[in-house]
Amino acid sequence: MVSITATYDGDLRCTATHGPSGSTLTTDAPLDNQGKGEAFSPTDLCATALITCIATTMAIKARSMGIELGKMEMSVEKHMSLKNPRRIARLPVEIKIGDILDEKQKTRLERVAHACPVHHSLHPDIEMPITITWGDESPE
């Protein structure tokens, strides 16, 4: 169990504190929803959680396979629904991994990318396509 506390600081901003480490982060409502967009919005954090969870679970699996993945570059685009209720509709993910692995290793790691806890926790109506580019491959 991990405890996270938060305060509403006014003007559509919150500060959250991670219990175990004491680290804090600030959220702000996005520009398109009455905020200033000066920090991650709550839905931005969902998108961030997805790409960092994918990278972390892939790295854990790689480590168990005796592979150190090294640097990964990741991006996610958050697309909000155009109709009510306001919600995340699509989170396309792109990952670039410099290491060149064999096909069996790639397949195992790609499977893990689609099975991270955040991916499984988000609503199944959210489209979450994942594109992984290995070594010098060009994206499909």
- If asked whether residues 105 and 128 sit together in one domain, one would say yes
Looking at residue 137, its pLDDT comes to: 60
- Note down pLDDT in tens along the chain; length 140 residues: 999 999 999 999 999 999 999 999 999 999 988 989 999 999 999 999 999 999 999 999 999 999 988 789 999 999 999 999 999 999 999 999 987 788 999 999 999 999 999 999 999 999 999 999 998 665 54
SS in 3 state form for the chain?
CCCEEEEEEECCEEEEEECCCCCEEEEECCHHHCCCCCCECHHHHHHHHHHHHHHHHHHHHHHHCCCCCCCEEEEECCEECCCCCCCEEECCEEEEECCCCCHHHHHHHHHHHCCCHHHHHCCCCCECCEEEEECCCCCC
- pTM here is 0.90
- Domain residues for the domain of 113 are 43-140
56 and 23 within one domain? no
Residue 67 and residue 133 in one domain: yes
Within this chain, do residues 1 and 54 fall inside the same structural domain, yes or no?
no
